[in-house]
Structures are given as structure tokens and as C-alpha cells.
Amino acid sequence: MASLIGSYSLFFGLGCSLLVVFFSLKDLKNLNNLDNKILSLTFLQFLLVVLSFFGLIISFVNSDFSNLTVFNHSHTTKPLFYKISGTWGNHEGSLLLWLLVLTLFIFLFLIRSKKEPKKYRILTILFQQIIIIGFFIFLIKTSNPFDYIYPVPKEGLGLNPILQDPALAFHPPILYLGYVGTSIIFSSVLAASVSNYITKEWAKHIKQWVIISWIFLSLGILLGSIWAYYELGWGGFWFWDPVENISLMPWLALTTLLHCILVLEKKSILTSWVIILSIATFTLSMSGTFLVRSGILNSVHTFANDPERGLFILIFLFTLIFLSLFVFFFFHKTDKKNTTSFFLLSKETSILVNNWFMMYFLAVVLIGTIYPIFLDVISSQKISVGPPFYHKLIIPFLIPFLLMMAIGPKLNWIKSELQNKFYLASFFVISLFLSFMIIRMLEISILINTVLFASAFYLFFITLRDFFIKGFKNLAQNIAHFGFSLLILSILFNNFLSTEIITNLKVGETYQSNKLTINFEKIEKKKMQNFEAIIGKFNIKNESDYIEILKPELRIYNQPNIVTSEADIKTNLFSDKFMTMNLVQNQEYFNIRYQKKPFMIWIWFSVLIISFGGLFSLLKKRYES
């Protein structure tokens, strides 16, 4: 029943789209206010998609196996929470979620853009509806979440246990909010180009959308990273895996865009650049969906997929790209006035320089991610690109990037001079000295590390100083930059100070090294609702005879029959102790990994600070107006 309602809602929702397009086109020539019908229809469309989404959730909760999606991804013994989160944990459901967010955002956009020119609003609706219609057709044609199965099976196939995890329940919706937010920016920038409205006012208005998507994207990536950290049991948070890179690329583009919008807000320059970035951000988000959904990517995160769907997204994606190329080249007019009044020392120049670095990082990630696909297609040679590639290319350029982040905000808009900036230099000397000491202490003697530490510390101190001296002025920016310096510092410390022990133990055995002993005391078995747990008990004794007990787990899920391992992590402010246990097939030995990861929690925390910077700037704007 719920499936039936959901299914019909989808068709009616598509109908709404067509009506909206019809009325918008009709309304285009009308100079008066926006036709109210458009607003109501958009709202109706949103409601219909909500209805359909709830229909799917209810089918999942009721374990209605006459629905193919539910049958494929659910099971009666699954806890309620994962029945619900399973709704968007699969291809069909996640696309429905995309659609839900798309329709929600266009509705919110309409409400929040009442002061903007009418032509621009209508055009935005039209462009957004193109995307929405595309997704409707995609959903209904190739991946309808309400497909029937007959005869009705008694039991479902179950959700991949690795996805039965709280972090992963929230990761997709939040990431999608970010992705889909970029679609509004995309439609809006195309509409603004056509109606020749890329101005300071437009920048002010679109900035909030940029920031909102940016916050969600940052948080989405964070959640994915946390999940990988404790679920995959590799003890790392970023592996430069193609699927991870794919979420990073829109983030880089969006961050760049955010800074450009700040410039545009003050000064009518960089308009072409803003348009290109907006298009790029959305395109990268869409390609992300394409690459992940089509299974074209060769990644450890990939799930088995249907290439037929990939073809649809591919064609759709390139239609949008060519549409935006057309708009950009034939409608956008380069402004003739005040284009080139750049001065070397000014905020916008420093932003531009950092933009350039960001584009470089983006290019590195992009090439590293898709080069294997290209090579495979061209020469059918299978390769992968490992982390050293990214580290080598990105780390050296982080140094000037960090320095620019510290100094740039100190400059004025338009034109500035560096006077009385004695403290800028003195802070740098202090940071250099400090990092030199740290490098000595850690016994790593590479020049580049010293400079990298120094520049991160520099940004850290400069932003810290500004909290006290400048107070509320530029606070949002300062928070975000501070968070970034903290992130880099935590990652550096984490990298250099992590230790790890990998060994195979039988129950009762003890591993001994000069620093610590690991005693494998026993295993316990526990029966849970949808899995059976084997819990190991390990006593870890360090040099000062302090004993810590870690209890990593193996979970044997019944449906589908898969073993996962749950790391046991003891977190405190300064370090994480991380332990995983794997059972090697048909052997008495357990495969043990014990890691000490300093400042792990600070990595998560600093990303939260960065996102909070964005949130703060939104709140401030609310407060001011």
C-alpha cells in the first residue's frame, strides 16, 4: 500500500515539474510578480516527493518484501534504526533522497529569494527543473524504488553489514545536502548569466547557499572519514581512495568558489571565474554520483553496480555540461569596467593566489582519480595511484598555501600596504623555531617537514592572536582558518607519532615487544538480534605497567552471511588506542592490529571547527539583518 502511494506520488511529482516548466515559460515575459501557481506547484512537488520517500520508509519498516528494493536490502531481524537508514543505504533509495533534497532546496530558494529580480528567479526554477526532471526520469526508468516482486518472498536479502553503522546512516543524507546544494548554485549561476545579473547583489544572495552546501559537504566528508576509521580497521582516516577523492573534489571547488564569492561581494570582478567554479562544483558532484553509481571506478569502496544506470547519468551529466557551456559562451558578457584594477598587495590578490593553489590541488586529485580509468580504456592496462602520488604533489604546496591563509586576511580589500606588521615576521620566527625543536625531538630530519610544521604553526598563532585582538571582526573566517591550521597540525602529529603492532595470536598467547606486551586473554560469544559477536579480551601493558583492556569484536551477521570486525577504540584527548581483530579462515590464529594514534580526535574536531566557521558566518548574517 505504502509502495503504491509512493509510486504514484513519483509520477505526480514528475507531472508537477512539467506544469512548473509550462507556467514558468508562460510567466517569463510577464513583468509583474512571480506567478503564485509556480510557488504552490513547487511546494506540492516537494510534498509529493516527501510522501513517496515516506512510502519507501514505511515499506522498509514494515518489511514489505513485495517491494523489490526492500527485498534486496532489508531483513526482518534488522534493528528498526537500520531498517530506516536502509532506505537510503541503497541505490534506489539514495536517488529518491537526492530528489527529495532537490525539490526541498528549490522550494526554499523560492521563498528566500523574494527580493531578487523576477526574470532571474524564473530562470533559476527552469534550470533547476531540468535537473529535477532528469532525476525523476532516471529514478522511474532505471531505478524505481517501488518495483514489485511476485510471488512475495518471505524474507529479504539483508543490508550489507558494513553499512549497518550509525555514522553511515547519516553520512549519505548529509553529503547529499551538500551535493544538491551545489545544484542550486549551478542553476542560479546559469540564470544569473542569462539575465546578466552576476553582480555584488547576486553574490550576497547566493553566498548563503554556497556556505550551506559547503558546511554539509564538509560534515559529510567528515562522517565518511570517521566511518572508514573505525569500520574498515585500517586505522587511517584518509586513503586517497577514488571514492573518497570524489567527495573531496567538489569540496575543493566549492571552497574556492566561497572565497571568490567573498571577492565578488565587494567588487565586481572575477565574474567569469565565479561562473566556471559554480559549474565545476556541480559537475564534480554529479560526476561523483556517476562514477560511484556506475561502478566504473576501481575502488575498494565500490559496491556491485549496474552499468546501465551509469549510461543514463553519463548522458545527463554531459547534457548539463554542454548546456552550461552554451550559456557561458553565448550569454555571459564580460564586464568592461573595472576589470583589471588589481594590486599586488590586496586581499583579493591573495585570495586569487590561494584559488590558484586550490585549483592545483583539485587538478592533482582529479588526475590521480581518473587517470586509471583513462589508461584502462585506452590501453587496457590496470593501474592504481597510491597515496605517495598525492602526498608528493600536495604537501610542498601546502606551505605557501598556509602562509597565504595567514597573511591574506591581514590585507585590505583593493589595495593595502604591509606596515606595522612587525608581529607577522616575529610570529614566523617563533613558529620556525618551535617546529625546529619539534622536528629535533621527533628525530625526523627533513627540511620540508620543518617548514611545513612552521607554516601550520604560523597560521595557528596568527589566527589565535586574532581571536583576542580582533574579536568579532572577521570571526567566521578566523574560526575556519584556525580550524584548518589545527587540522594540518593534528594530521602531521598523527602521522609522525603513530605506532602500530600487527601480529597473529592464538587465545592465551602473549605478544612481547620492548615497549609493551599484548596478552590475548579470552574470547566470548554473544548472540545479538541480527548478528553473533565474538569479543576478544586483550590486556595491553605498557612500560609503566599500566594495563589497558581492549575488546575488539568480530560480528558474524546472519543475513547476508558476512563477517565484519569492529575496532575497539579508547579515545582520550591526546591519543586513540585502536585495536582490531580478524579471524583468518579455518585457523586458530587471530590477526591482531594494535595502534596508538595521537591526536586522532583533534582531526575530527578541527573539521568541526572549520564547518562551524561557516555556520557562524550564516548566523551572523541572520543576526545583522
Near another protein in 275-334, by CB under 8 A: 290, 294-296, 298, 300-307, 310-311, 314, 318, 321-322, 325, 329-330, 333-334
> Is residue 345 a contact point for another protein (CB under 8 A)?
no
Query: Reduced to 3 states, what is the DSSP secondary structure of residue 543?
Result: coil
Near another protein in 139-168, by CB under 8 A: 160, 162
CA distances from 246 to 56, 457, 473 (A): 28, 29, 35
Q: For residues 243 and 438, which CB has a smaller minimum distance to another protein in the complex?
A: 243
Q: How far is the CB of 272 from another protein (least distance, A)?
A: 9
Q: For residues 416 and 582, which CB has a smaller minimum distance to another protein in the complex?
A: 582
Task: Report whether 82 contacts 32 (CB < 8 A).
Answer: no
Task: Report whether 501 contacts 511 (CB < 8 A).
Answer: yes
- Residue in 83, 118, 481, 593 binding another protein, rule: CB under 8 A: 593
- Residue in 39, 385, 464, 533 binding another protein, rule: CB under 8 A: 385
Q: Which of the stretches 16-24, 472-480, 522-530, 588-596 binds another protein when contact is defined by CB under 8 A? A: 588-596
φ/ψ of residue 147, rounded to 5: -65, 145
Read off the amino acid at residue 173. P
Residue 550 is placed in which grid cell?
581492549
| Number of neighbouring beta carbons within 10 Å of residue 5 | 17
Q: Which residues pair with 575 in a beta bridge?
A: 598
Q: For residues 208 and 503, which CB has a smaller minimum distance to another protein in the complex?
A: 503
Of residues 596, 576, 593, the one with CA closest to residue 226: 576
φ/ψ of residue 174, rounded to 5: -70, -40
φ/ψ of residue 566, rounded to 5: -105, 120
If phi over 0 gives left and psi between -120 and 50 gives alpha, with beta otherwise, what is residue 216? alpha
CA distances from 557 to 73, 228, 528, 586 (A): 14, 19, 9, 18
> Is residue 374 a contact point for another protein (CB under 8 A)?
yes
Q: For residues 379 and 420, which CB has a smaller minimum distance to another protein in the complex?
A: 379
Residue 610 CA to residue 483 CA, distance in Å, equals: 5
- Residue in 429, 521, 560, 619 binding another protein, rule: CB under 8 A: 560
Q: For residues 105 and 240, which CB has a smaller minimum distance to another protein in the complex?
A: 240
> Is residue 585 a contact point for another protein (CB under 8 A)?
yes
- Residue in 36, 150, 154, 378 binding another protein, rule: CB under 8 A: 378
Q: Which of the stretches 35-43, 173-181, 464-472, 579-587 binds another protein when contact is defined by CB under 8 A? A: 579-587
Residue 574 is placed in which grid cell?
591526546
Q: Which of the stretches 47-55, 226-234, 525-533, 534-542 binds another protein when contact is defined by CB under 8 A? A: 226-234
Q: How far is the CB of 478 from another protein (least distance, A)?
A: 28
Q: Which of the stretches 19-27, 230-238, 409-417, 609-617 binds another protein when contact is defined by CB under 8 A? A: 230-238
Q: Which of the stretches 20-28, 68-76, 408-416, 501-509 binds another protein when contact is defined by CB under 8 A? A: 501-509
- Three-state SS sequence of 41-78: HHHHHHHHHHHHHHHHHHHHHCCCCCEHHHHHHCCCCC
Q: How far is the CB of 607 from another protein (least distance, A)?
A: 23
> Cell 550569454 identifies what position?
331
Task: Report whether 355 contacts 413 (CB < 8 A).
Answer: no
| Number of neighbouring beta carbons within 10 Å of residue 383 | 11
How does strand 575-583 pair with strand 517-527? unpaired
Q: For residues 77 and 302, which CB has a smaller minimum distance to another protein in the complex?
A: 302
Residue 180 is placed in which grid cell?
544538491
> Is residue 512 a contact point for another protein (CB under 8 A)?
no
Q: For residues 6 and 368, which CB has a smaller minimum distance to another protein in the complex?
A: 368
Q: For residues 255 and 294, which CB has a smaller minimum distance to another protein in the complex?
A: 294
Q: How far is the CB of 126 from another protein (least distance, A)?
A: 22
- Residue in 36, 80, 151, 388 binding another protein, rule: CB under 8 A: 388
Q: Which of the stretches 137-145, 379-387, 420-428, 517-525 binds another protein when contact is defined by CB under 8 A? A: 379-387
Size of the site for another protein (CB under 8 A): 77
Near another protein in 391-420, by CB under 8 A: 392-393
Q: Which residues pair with 501 in a beta bridge?
A: 594
Q: Which of the stretches 172-180, 369-377, 537-545, 607-615 binds another protein when contact is defined by CB under 8 A? A: 369-377
If phi over 0 gives left and psi between -120 and 50 gives alpha, with beta otherwise, what is residue 517? beta
Q: Taking the alpha carbons of 237, 243, 249, 251 in that order, is the dihedral positive or negative?
A: negative
Task: Report whether 599 contacts 494 (CB < 8 A).
Answer: yes
> Is residue 381 a contact point for another protein (CB under 8 A)?
yes
Q: How far is the CB of 244 from another protein (least distance, A)?
A: 13
Task: Report whether 156 contacts 63 (CB < 8 A).
Answer: yes
Q: How far is the CB of 509 from another protein (least distance, A)?
A: 8
Residue 100 CA to residue 97 CA, distance in Å, equals: 5
Judge if the upstream peptide bond of residue 388 is cis by omega within 30 degrees of 0.
no
Residue 26 is placed in which grid cell?
508562460
> Is residue 376 a contact point for another protein (CB under 8 A)?
yes
- Residue in 199, 495, 539, 591 binding another protein, rule: CB under 8 A: 591
> Is residue 504 a contact point for another protein (CB under 8 A)?
yes
- Residue in 33, 36, 340, 445 binding another protein, rule: CB under 8 A: 340
- Residue in 107, 170, 331, 589 binding another protein, rule: CB under 8 A: 589
Question: Residues in the chain, how many?
Answer: 625
Of residues 509, 563, 569, the one with CA closest to residue 534: 563
> Is residue 379 a contact point for another protein (CB under 8 A)?
no
Residue 393 CA to residue 395 CA, distance in Å, equals: 6
Beta strand extents in 230-366 (DSSP E only): none
Q: How far is the CB of 592 from another protein (least distance, A)?
A: 8
Q: For residues 374 and 433, which CB has a smaller minimum distance to another protein in the complex?
A: 374
Task: Report whether 28 contacts 124 (CB < 8 A).
Answer: no
> Residues 31-70: x/- map of binding to another protein (CB under 8 A)?
----------------------------------------
Task: Report whether 153 contacts 67 (CB < 8 A).
Answer: no
Q: How far is the CB of 474 from another protein (least distance, A)?
A: 28
Q: Which of the stretches 84-92, 337-345, 418-426, 454-462 binds another protein when contact is defined by CB under 8 A? A: 337-345
Read off the amino acid at residue 209. W
Q: Which of the stretches 134-142, 232-240, 413-421, 422-430 binds another protein when contact is defined by CB under 8 A? A: 232-240
> Is residue 559 a contact point for another protein (CB under 8 A)?
no
